[in-house]
Amino acid sequence: MKKLFFLITFFCIFQSVSAQLFSKEKVLNDENADKALLSYGYFIGFNSYDFNFDYFKDKPDIQVAKTTGFNVGLVGNLRINDYVDLRLEPGLCITTRTLEYDEKYFNGIEHTPADLEREVKSTYIHVPLLLKFSTKRLNNFKPFIVGGLSTALNLSSNQDNPDDNSAGKFRTKKNMYFYEIGFGIDFYLYYFKFTPSIRGVFAINDELVRDADPNSPWTGNIATMKTRGVFINFTFQ
């Protein structure tokens, strides 16, 4: 279903771009859309979060089973000039990841099949500050690239929980910091501007809260655990 959704989205974008490039019709929609100093909108979309691990010892990689999450939020845009905008895009991002451990992590340790998996639920209040660099408007569309920094508060964090993996609780930190880079296309429709975009999100700080036991099979071999992800957003302004 995800592949079908992406194919349909890509086909729609390709059709619209082709029509704009090769059609003789050049009636501009919403000509003043980019002239306001401040503009606002909202976005909805999807995410796919992962973890990037660094290890102390050479053991099998911890596998991450990902799910498709959901994004929703607001957009505030400050026009700097015809080609550069400063954007604030606070939003809510919901996702779930499942960590899958190899049996080798439990050599000599009594365990059950449930110990080989840990579910990590995350509900981020995500606040990016981004610079958007656009090309010249071509008929009714305008490609752009975007990049910047962001912070996130994980509402599902159990950082302060005294229980750890020995009690079945995998803990992550509350506060995260990221850098982001992506691209998209502004489509100028008759009544509003529609913008599909894709963006990569990469954590700067370690998200793991380690178990009390330094030799814990769940956290003892992890040097760093950093979130990374992909956002596909649809913005309406």
pLDDT in tens, 147-195: 999 999 999 999 999 999 989 999 999 999 999 999 999 999 988 999 9
CB distance 45 to 91 below 8 Å: no
Q: What is the DSSP letter of 207?
A: -
- Which secondary-structure segment (H or E) carries 139? none
CB distance 204 to 177 below 8 Å: yes
Residue bearing tokens 């509350």: 174
Euclidean distance between CA atoms 221 and 13, whole angstroms:
45
Tell whether domain 2-236 is in CATH 1.10.3720.10: no
Residues ≥6 apart with Cβ < 8 Å to 220: 56, 210, 211, 213, 214
In terms of pTM, does the model score above 0.85?
Answer: no
Domain range list for the chain:
2-236
CB distance 120 to 85 below 8 Å: no
pLDDT in tens, 107-130: 888 889 999 999 999 999 999 999
